[in-house]
Amino acid sequence: MACIADGYHSVYWTCRARRSDDGGREKGCSTMHLVTGATGNVGSEVVKALASAGEGVRALVRRPDAVTLPEGVEAVGGDLDRPQSLKDALTGVRAVFLLPGYKDMPGLLDEIRSAGVKKVVLLSGASAGSSDLDNAVTRYMAASEAAVRESGLAWTFLRPSAFMSNALRWLPQIQAGDEVRVPFPTVRTASLDPFDLGAVAARALIGDDHEGEILQPTGPEALLPAEQVAVLARAIGRELRAVELTNEQARTEMTAAMPVEYLDAFFSFYVKGTLDESIVRPTVLEVTGRKPRTFAEWAGAHADDFR
């Protein structure tokens, strides 16, 4: 399944990265980065992290005239399913934050390498290391990683746990009433704030410390869906009740939202137990120097979205 790419690009390219004798970046020297998916939950956080660090940012969006970006960041159009359309976006870029699953990943990476890009930080998935290529999600994640490995570019793979922002899928139910229907009610996930993933991605793009590494950032605690609902209820001052769905009910409701091969993939992950996202890892702290945000912090920051 090809990911939808929304990205963006910066007005100026200050300079290519130059290195001082001690291996650090020369003072006052900014590097240009291309961020794909930059209007999405993760990409937008990568954009903000890079811009806050004073880095040059270039991005790809469907409608450059219809996005609002941080100061110093400019939008440019392009289509990641048509690699030849990216020549302008890639000019002067040293590193690319890339989403997985485009229809011609090898061709896309050829275009990226030919433009002089040195490194790709790929957003992958926690199941990408599995050998179960019958699973549709695992298959396209693993294929994307393989294409990057074979591209000749330096790389870092990000295999995060589930995102806290997935709770936004409950928004229509919360707007309609106080019941939240949750599939896979017994499955704990150490969900990750996209803010923290963006910070990890930015560090991987800016420096060379994590080249050739697979980073697995997670949140700081493993919660059940009902526990997330309870935290969200406190954040918005509502009496919400989690309604736990049976697997049969969940399959019926989810069938309307996704192709059957992806539905089967999620049931393999969470019913058969082929994916364990309950593991809490220290990756965010190790890479960024600070602890990851809790679900309560995410819910507080996004409470207005649910009101």
Considering the domain boundaries, does residue 71 fall inside one? yes
76 is a domain residue = yes
For residue 84, give the CATH number of its domain: 3.40.50.720
Residue 28 lies in a domain: yes
How many CB atoms are closer than 10 A to CB 28? 9
Structure tokens that stand for 213 in this block? 């590494």
Tally of structural domains, the chain: 1
Domain range for 14 is 9-160+194-217+279-290
Count of C-beta atoms within a 10 Å radius of residue 261: 13
Asked, for residue 143, whether it belongs to a domain, the answer is: yes
- Whether residue 232 lies inside any domain: the answer is no
pTM exceeds 0.85, yes or no: yes
Would you write out the chain's pLDDT as a tens digit for each of its 307 residues?
333 333 222 222 223 233 333 334 443 445 899 999 989 999 999 999 999 999 999 988 888 888 889 988 988 889 999 999 999 999 999 999 999 999 999 999 999 999 999 999 999 999 999 989 999 999 999 999 999 999 999 999 999 999 999 999 999 999 999 999 999 999 999 999 999 999 999 999 999 999 999 999 999 999 999 999 999 999 999 999 999 999 999 999 999 889 999 999 999 999 999 999 999 999 999 999 999 999 999 999 999 999 8
Length of the chain in terms of residues written: 307
Q: Does residue 142 sit within a domain?
A: yes
Residue 251 within any structural domain of the chain: no
Q: Would you say residue 118 lies in a domain?
A: yes
Q: Which of 198, 259, 238, 248 is nearest to 50 (CA)?
A: 198
